[in-house]
A and B are shown apart, each in its own frame.
Chain A
Amino acid sequence: MTATLTRSARPTVFARPSGARKFKNGLATTLVTAAFLVALVPLVWLLWTVISKGFHVIMSSSWWTESQHNQTQKTPGGGALHAIVGTLEQVALCSVISVPIAILVGIYLVEYARGPFARVTTFMVDILTGIPSIVAALFIYALFVSTFHHLRSGWLVSMALVILMVPVIVRTTEEMLKLVPNELREASYALGVPKWKTIAKIVLPTAFTGLVTGVILGVARVAGETAPLLILVGYAQGMNANLFGTKFQGSLPGMINDEFTNLNTATGGSAYHLDPNGKRVAGGAINYAPDRMWGAALTLIAIVLLLNVIARFVARFNKVSQ
């Protein structure tokens, strides 16, 4: 065969990349892979911390059925029901307001937007996307508390969350509606179907799962927001299901924050602590704050990640993005 005959002459034929090029290529591959490995460290570490420190806490039945009413760092038991209820209420009110507005804005931007007002709207949505949560909270404070003299209350938190949630949903709605092929709209117009009906019956149903995904992601985004809680409602250990009252209200981020401040305050001082059965046990001070903090953190992560997984699951059914 000719190949065997010419093999000896081969090395000069294909000039291999120079050593420097090979080195750079290898270095780049190493760095890229290293970046990925480095990024995995905090992810795994953080999840492991929260799960290993919080899992036994949320497995107790009282966690899901009781509040922290009358509990201190030194007394065992109690739960996070008050916080879960507070968070769910605040997020629910926020969603009820945000979702219709945001979807309508999305429809406007994709189906109707023309001229300067459309550009202004896009610009404003951009600004809204970038507003830090603390600024949103300050605005609600300045509007309702400073100007209209409302007292701090759970529903004010919902108002601040609206500011944070609307742009998230507008964005996904916009993306999803843009994915609906124009041929569908034109086919509908060609049959004499008016525009509003084309949107209501063809565009929205086609993009429906995409819209649901956007809403769920929006909910997940605001469920863990803490800054508005610090400014707009105090944290209560007991159950307060009244979103519109002026009493303090519990919430998961609020609970994490509260237990965080208790981490160091309870150590030392007493010569005994109560064991899980309520008996006095001699020995150094004990502090249940860390348990509760990690428990609340795990509960919050579980809720948020669950919402994300649901959103991705729903997105699988999406008709236009596949």
Chain B
Amino acid sequence: MAKRIEGKNLNIYYGKFLAVSNVNFTIAPNSVTAFIGPSGCGKSTVLRTLNRMHEVIAGASVQGKVLLDGDDIYESGIDPVAVRRTIGMVFQRPNPFPTMSIYDNVAAGLKLQSGRIRKSELDAVVEKSLRSANLWGEVQDRLNKPGAGLSGGQQQRLCIARAIAVAPDVLLMDEPCSALDPISTMAIEDLIRVLKKDYTIVIVTHNMQQAARISERTAFFNLAGVGQPGELVEMDDTQTIFTNPTDKRTEDYISGAFG
């Protein structure tokens, strides 16, 4: 299930503007990798190129390769729709479909992919996904209520359930806790530790403590200079990044000198 991701010579553009330049990295399967760095350094942009969400924005484009177990997701002939089915995503702000019930939200992706599914089968997947997202107990008796009626933390776990219901290989998380309170954040972090058994997880976070708590590997992104594109400064074991980074800029950032 879980797969390895590699970025090779990634140059990411918004129109003619080069937002991130020359990024190379390898992410191991069944690991949690954190992307950290100051605002505007392009870490979310890099994350969004990993499932071709970047190109949803008009004029945005990518050069280079992103390999999923060796297969380039940007190769011509590859349908971005198929890529996104394989690589799921959870966003900064919880975004359940407002007009759908909790049940329908979880089932949404599945219903798309396999036309007609038996109700019992669907029920089973919905329950399993909600259990995996650690939400089942809280919502099992109100599955037909609107998903928007849940608390922020519950909504975010609902979005995680929605993403894992289609059984992706990789789960991308774009600051999934930044809109949540500390208790909900802890619940999500616990969930991430459990989920890495089945998925490769990449998480963008502003919160360095969070990166230290949940990730095995950490990548530090920074702007090459004022008005210059973002770049990957260094990537290493989380332990190393936070205790003994190679690059001076990483050390400055970690120690709170900027950012």
- Do the two chains touch directly in the complex (Cβ atoms below 8 Å apart)? yes
What's the minimum C-beta distance from A72 to chain B, rounded to whole angstroms? 60
Q: CB-defined interface of A173-199 with B at 8 Å, one 1/0 digit per residue?
A: 000000000000000000000000000
Contact A16 B79 (CB under 8 A): yes
Residues of B within 8 A of A17 (CB): 79, 81-82, 113
Contact B70 A14 (CB under 8 A): no
Q: Check if B115 is an interface residue, CB within 8 A of chain A.
A: yes
B86 in complex: contacting residue of A6, A14, A18, CB < 8 Å = A14
Name the residue of chain A whose CB is nearest to the CB of B84.
A14
Q: How far is the CA of A7 from the CA of B67 in the complex (A)?
A: 11
Q: Given A14-B86, A17-B79, A3–B67 Cβ distance below 8 Å? A: yes
Which residues 75-93 in B have Cβ within 8 Å of A in the complex? 75, 78-79, 81-83, 85-86
B83 in complex: contacting residue of A7, A10, A14, A18, CB < 8 Å = A14
Contact A14 B67 (CB under 8 A): no
Residues of B within 8 A of A322 (CB): none
Contact A14 B115 (CB under 8 A): no
Contact A13 B112 (CB under 8 A): no
Q: How far is the CA of A3 from the CA of B69 in the complex (A)?
A: 10
Q: Given A14-B79, A17-B81, A2–B67 Cβ distance below 8 Å? A: yes
Contact B82 A15 (CB under 8 A): yes
Q: Check if A21 is an interface residue, CB within 8 A of chain B.
A: yes
Q: Check if B72 is an interface residue, CB within 8 A of chain A.
A: yes
What's the minimum C-beta distance from A235 to chain B, rounded to whole angstroms? 52
Q: Check if B43 is an interface residue, CB within 8 A of chain A.
A: no
Q: CB-defined interface of B41-75 with A at 8 Å, one 1/0 digit per residue?
A: 00000000000000000000000010111111101
Contact B85 A3 (CB under 8 A): no
Contact B71 A13 (CB under 8 A): yes
Which residues 1-32 in A have Cβ within 8 Å of B in the complex? 2-3, 5-7, 9-10, 13-18, 20-21
Main secondary structure of the interface of A (DSSP, over half): helix
Residues of B within 8 A of A13 (CB): 68-69, 71, 86
Number of interface residues of A (CB under 8 A): 15
Residues of A within 8 A of B78 (CB): 14
What's the minimum C-beta distance from B65 to chain A, rounded to whole angstroms? 7
Residues of A within 8 A of B72 (CB): 3
A16 in complex: contacting residue of B67, B71, B82, B112, CB < 8 Å = B82
What's the minimum C-beta distance from A12 to chain B, rounded to whole angstroms? 10
Q: How far is the CA of A20 from the CA of B68 in the complex (A)?
A: 26
Contact B70 A6 (CB under 8 A): yes
Residues of B within 8 A of A9 (CB): 71
Residues of A within 8 A of B65 (CB): 3
A21 in complex: contacting residue of B73, B75, B112, CB < 8 Å = B112
Q: How far is the CA of A5 from the CA of B71 in the complex (A)?
A: 10
What's the minimum C-beta distance from B90 to chain A, rounded to whole angstroms? 20
Q: How far is the CA of A6 from the CA of B79 in the complex (A)?
A: 18
Residues of A within 8 A of B68 (CB): 13
Contact A18 B70 (CB under 8 A): no
Q: How far is the CA of A13 from the CA of B70 in the complex (A)?
A: 10
Contact A14 B82 (CB under 8 A): yes
Name the residue of chain A whose CB is nearest to the CB of B82.
A14
Name the residue of chain A whose CB is nearest to the CB of B3.
A13
Residues of A within 8 A of B69 (CB): 6, 13
Q: Given A3-B65, A21-B112, A15–B85 Cβ distance below 8 Å? A: yes
What's the minimum C-beta distance from A6 to chain B, rounded to whole angstroms? 4
| 6 tightest A-B CB contacts, nearest first | A14-B82, A6-B70, A13-B71, A2-B70, A16-B82, A16-B79
Q: With A2-B67, A13-B86, A17-B82 given, can you name 14 additional A-B contacts, CB distance below 8 Å?
A: A3-B70, A3-B72, A6-B69, A10-B75, A13-B69, A13-B71, A14-B79, A14-B85, A15-B82, A15-B85, A16-B82, A17-B79, A17-B81, A20-B115
- Please list the residues of chain A having a beta carbon within 8 angstroms of any beta carbon in chain B: 2-3, 5-7, 9-10, 13-18, 20-21
A sample of 7 cross-chain residue pairs with beta-carbon separation below 8 angstroms, ordered by A number, consists of A10-B75, A13-B69, A14-B71, A16-B79, A16-B81, A17-B113, A18-B115
